Chain A
Amino acid sequence: MKAKLFRLAVAAGLVAVACAAQAQTPIRIGEINSYKTQAAFLDPYRRGMELAVDEVNAAGGVAGRKIEIVTRDDSANPGDAVRMAEELVSAEKVDMIAGGFLSNVGLALADFAKQRKVVYLASEPLTDKIVWQDGNRYTFRLRPSTYMQSAMLAPDAIKLNKRRWAFVYPNYEYGQSAVATFKALLKAGQPDVEFVGDQATPLGRIDAGAVAQALGDARPDAIFNALFAADLSKFVREGSTRGLFNNASVVSLLTGEPEYLDPLRDEAPVGWLVTGYPWYAIDTPQHKAFLAAYQKKYSDYPRVGSVVGYSTIKAISAAVEKAGGADTEKLVAAFTGLEFGSPFGKVMFRPQDHQSTMGAYVGRTVVKDGKGIMVDFSYKDGAGFQPSDAEVKALRPAD
């Protein structure tokens, strides 16, 4: 009897210790990104993540546990990214993975997640395929996709009522699908449009002068642009020197993001219709709180990367809280339909394709005090810029 009691006591003690240990081990998030090759976006992204981790842990963590991120650099190489993911899962014992900037890296990680049954929150890659053609049960995506961002621009573009459109975009999947989506939506809303020129430029190596002239020679009434980063700067400078934008309206993807607008300084384009992030003028309480906390911690203003990094951690925390832990199957269930608060307001992971409804701001660019900013902007909730559920269902393989 005594021995039995003793054994019971020991067992109870072991259970208690195990529970305590469970409560103390942090939730570990493995984060993989092209930190060195895409530093302009990912430095602020890392800061956003760290801010959110601090906030979550200061508030006592989630499900009784602190959170912890382990970051890895994939050097913009899908093969290395998969190796890092293996390392994070098997050696670092992370509970889930997140990150991925380039679309090919994102897709490689998504497929890894499916194969190894690990939850993957794709924070930045824009490719539509990651939630549609190549979507899977373990992968969720935070940032608004190429489709969504192009769709956000389409209504205002149709209102411009321009007939002759020309297109310039980086020659890879992002640029191609942005243009394809935009053309389809434009044609649907305004059947008499005419497409007068396509310039697909090698990523990072645009011949801006020749491209600007070729576009001008096509005499378009409006131009759709999907260039970003250095390509954008070169194109804007050549285009304005050559008077390309005098007679044509421009509708432009991502150009209002501080990452891409700020390097242009006082030469930022004026009057372009863009998607972006006007951090200086967003008047919602959620964003004000985020902005204040970010500026206090870093004495710098946030970029889109900061918002994405911050929201990544907030989304994961919300999912862990909802799942009551980090069990993979419970996390999948928790992420599906999950609602959480981001600096842009309430965001939801759509059950039908695991895409979040995080939106973007659409507005017009002006130059003020020697800097490009967005004005007359409004927030476009991502929920409203999706193809029909039937179309999504047809695209996405069943789990």
Chain B
Amino acid sequence: MSFSGLTVQLLNGLADASALFLLAAGLSLIFGVTRIVNFAHGSLYMLGAYVAWSLTERLSSVAGFWISMLLAALAVGALGATIELVLLRRMYRAPDLSQLLATFALTLIARDAALYLWGPEDLLGPRAPGLSGSVVILGRLFPQYNLLLIAIGPVVLIALRTLLAQTRWGVLVRAATQDREMVGALGVNQSILFTTVFALGAFLAGLGGALQLPREPASAGIDIAAIGDAFVVVVVGGMGSMPGAFIAALLICEIKALCIALGDWTTPFGLTIAFPHFTLVAEFAVMAVVLVLRPWGLLGRQQETARASAASTAPFTPAGSLTKWGAAIALAAVALLPFLVGGDSYILVLSIDICVGILFAASLHFIMGPGGMHSFGHAAYFGLGAYASALALRRADIPMELALALSPLGGALGALAFGWFCVRLSGVYLSMLTLAFGQIVWSIVYQWDAITGGSNGLIGIWPSARLASKSAYFHLTLALSVAGALLLRRILFSPFGYALRATRDSPLRSGAIGIDVRRIQWAAFIIAGTVCGLAGGLFAFSKGSISPETISVGRSVDGLVMVLLGGVETLSGPIVGAASYIVLQDVISRHMQYWRAALGMFMLLLVMAFPGGIVGALRHRFTRT
């Protein structure tokens, strides 16, 4: 590759970095002040692109184009303010992460709304008037519009820095980022502060989407990619640090451009490395490396814990004999299900999925609730378990029962490796490192055709003859799920479980009384990974096939939704959450055309009605009256 080629590739990276920074800056701002993990940020970005498209269709003059960009961003900003006022404002006192559930529901609604309003086809916008052509740089044609983008990034960065450093509003925002209770105690109206911050963040997301329009069609799929990228940039840069976000965006985009520029490269030993393939996970690999080396991102500082969320929840209470008997009777009734509904009923199929979901959710809850470690990449262990079983069966011809027994091992090994790194971090950084590992595993499985079957996955993974009937497999799944859930429960009531809770409530004090915090957390990771791997194995044999989808972000998010829906603070939360989420999705998707929006609406209602999850809210009501 020539020097001039490389230089221009670095300019490409610079333009991409600017676009990425716009997207990430708003997210960073919102998180810094409100502590909301705003999942809907990608949706705001998507809506920015769509609205800008509609406006440019109507205002086709030169000035009209730029006015459209601005109006689109303002419209999305206004939408952001509305979301904050109507929805999120009610939830600041709710337990950690229930805002995440609410914003996730918003993404479902936004996606269907875009489909309804703008139709299914990709909408390619006009080129920017005056900047539609290219200039010659080092003998290569370079789009003029990219020059504008390269300029916009630093301009927005400086504007934000000035706003935060020089204005009264900025001072208050920075103060709230550091200690929002103190700001409130000093008489600052937090409500207005939060609404304006959210509106500005949404405005930036909308602007990012609108400015992408000359380079990328508006389509209903860009939200997911956008939100992933934005989170990575914010975390790599250090939460709340604008220059950090800018440097992170630059780092990621330049690495990608470099990979693309290098192309296939043959080593002296004849091995060919296809660098472009690396773009599939470049950002996540960068994030993993950065977080391992710098636990708070490039320019981030140790997170201040917000005082409200530090209030610890009451310890779990062991079940009384009444509850025990009730659970046993309910379980016996469920075990009789095949005889009630018939051996070939769909209810059994759904029940198998529910059992798998419960095991998955319970294992996630184990590190998330009592452990306080919010894993965003829990699907990694699920997928490793599933692939361990599937590979044992298909590639090594190991009998099905034995192959299933290998699935916990797959999950455990993954957790052993990733957990060691993750427990060295805390808070959102830990969450994002789990996500990074999940994506790295996904990308390896996705590309390793010879072993994992690549993107198509593996087929022909069916239970052995004696477990082939639906009722037999249902009983197996039920037995193993119950055993898994009971095991996790037992561990939580053991000294280890109390030690784990202690590490969550106060790492400092736990350390002082002699608890090896990291070791306890690491062990918790491995236990959760083991149980989760089993869920993956059970899943594989229930479907007959698996694909990289089992490791995808979507599945990790499903797990989070199940746990949050049921309630983090109770042991039965994940069970209720998993069952209700799976049944809801099944029923709604079968009966409605815009089922994602309907599911989102329903979840919003649940979050509003039961801020602490279904079980949490019910328990609260019971104990009060």
Contacts and interface: CB of A to CB of B under 8 A. Distances in A.
A209 B455 contact: no
Given A72-B590, A202-B279, A263-B123, A79 B550 contact: yes
A15 interface: no
B122 A263 contact: yes
Interface string A64-87: 000000001101111100110011
A395 to B, nearest CB: 15
A234 B595 contact: no
Contacts of B115: 36, 39
Interface SS of B by simple majority: helix
B260 A211 contact: yes
Contacts of A103: 455-456
Contacts of A243: 134, 141
A327 B548 CA distance: 35
A173 interface: yes
Interface centre among A208, A209, A218 (most CB of B within 10 A): A209
A218 B263 contact: yes
Contacts of B596: 36
Contact of A208 (B1, B215, B586): B215
Nearest to A114: B460
B454 A173 contact: yes
Contact of A73 (B220, B221, B554, B589): B589
B570 interface: no
A39 B543 contact: no
B257 A207 contact: yes
A241 interface: yes
Interface string B549-560: 110001000000
Given A78-B543, A207-B16, A208-B215, A265 B124 contact: yes
Contact of B349 (A78, A86, A217, A262): A86
B13 to A, nearest CB: 7
B346 interface: yes
Contacts of A328: none
12 contacts: A40-B122, A79-B539, A82-B545, A115-B462, A202-B279, A204-B221, A210-B257, A229-B122, A230-B216, A233-B124, A242-B140, A242-B141
Given A111-B544, A209-B146, A264-B124, A200 B257 contact: no
Contacts of B569: none
Given A242-B143, A263-B122, A107 B9 contact: no
Interface in B412-467: 446-447, 449, 454-457, 459-460, 462
A112 interface: yes
Ranked nearest first, the 7 interchain pairs of A and B with the lowest CB-CB distance are A39-B120, A172-B455, A104-B547, A91-B346, A111-B459, A108-B545, A210-B260
Interface in B1-46: 1-2, 5, 8-9, 12-13, 15-16
A134 interface: yes
Interface residues of B, number: 77
A201 interface: yes
Interface of A: 36-37, 39-40, 42-43, 72-73, 75-79, 82-83, 86-87, 90-91, 103-104, 107-108, 110-112, 115, 127, 129, 134, 171-173, 176, 197-202, 204-205, 207-211, 213-214, 216-218, 229-230, 233-234, 237-238, 241-243, 259, 262-265, 267
B124 A267 contact: yes
Contacts of A87: 346, 349-350, 590
Given A36-B112, A90-B349, A201-B279, A111 B140 contact: no
Interface in B345-375: 345-346, 349-350, 353
B133 interface: yes
Given A77-B549, A111-B460, A172-B446, 16 more contacts: A36-B596, A39-B120, A40-B122, A78-B546, A87-B346, A87-B349, A176-B449, A202-B279, A207-B279, A213-B5, A213-B261, A217-B1, A217-B5, A241-B141, A263-B124, A263-B217
Contacts of A234: 215-217
A36 B116 CA distance: 11
A85 to B, nearest CB: 9
A74 B590 CA distance: 10
B274 interface: yes
B138 to A, nearest CB: 11
B282 to A, nearest CB: 9
Contacts of A129: 456
A209 B279 contact: no
A78 B549 contact: yes
B108 to A, nearest CB: 10
Contacts of A202: 279-280
Contacts of A208: 215-216
B216 A233 contact: yes
Contacts of A43: 120
A205 B216 CA distance: 10
Contacts of B280: 171, 202
A242 B142 contact: yes
A262 B124 CA distance: 10
Contacts of A200: 274, 276-277
A200 B276 CA distance: 6
B222 interface: yes
Given A40-B120, A75-B589, A173-B455, A201 B217 contact: no
Contacts of A267: 124
A318 to B, nearest CB: 28
Interface of B: 1-2, 5, 8-9, 12-13, 15-16, 111-112, 115, 120-124, 127, 132-134, 140-143, 146, 215-217, 219-222, 225, 253, 256-257, 260-261, 263-264, 274, 276-277, 279-280, 344-346, 349-350, 353, 446-447, 449, 454-457, 459-460, 462, 539, 543-550, 554, 586, 589-590, 595-596
Contacts of B595: 36, 73
Given A39-B220, A229-B122, A104 B9 contact: no
A210 B277 contact: no
B140 A241 contact: no
Contacts of A213: 5, 8-9, 12, 140, 261
Contacts of A127: 456
B456 A238 contact: no
Contacts of B1: 217
A108 B225 contact: no
Contacts of A237: 124, 127, 215
A41 to B, nearest CB: 8
A238 B144 CA distance: 11
Given A201-B276, A210-B257, A242-B140, A78 B457 contact: yes
Contacts of B260: 199, 207, 210-211, 214
A218 B222 CA distance: 30
Interface centre among B1, B122, B253 (most CB of A within 10 A): B122
Nearest to A88: B346
A108 B543 contact: yes
Contact of A262 (B121, B127, B353): B121
A263 B550 contact: no
B459 A83 contact: no
A165 B456 CA distance: 27
Contacts of A210: 9, 12-13, 16, 256-257, 260-261
Given A83-B353, A241-B143, A108 B276 contact: no
A200 B263 CA distance: 9
A210 B14 CA distance: 11
Nearest to A134: B459
A90 B344 contact: yes
Interface centre among B8, B115, B121 (most CB of A within 10 A): B121
Contacts of B350: 83, 87
A36 B544 CA distance: 24
B459 A108 contact: yes
A235 to B, nearest CB: 11
Contacts of B122: 40, 229-230, 233, 263
A354 to B, nearest CB: 16
B267 to A, nearest CB: 16
A212 to B, nearest CB: 9
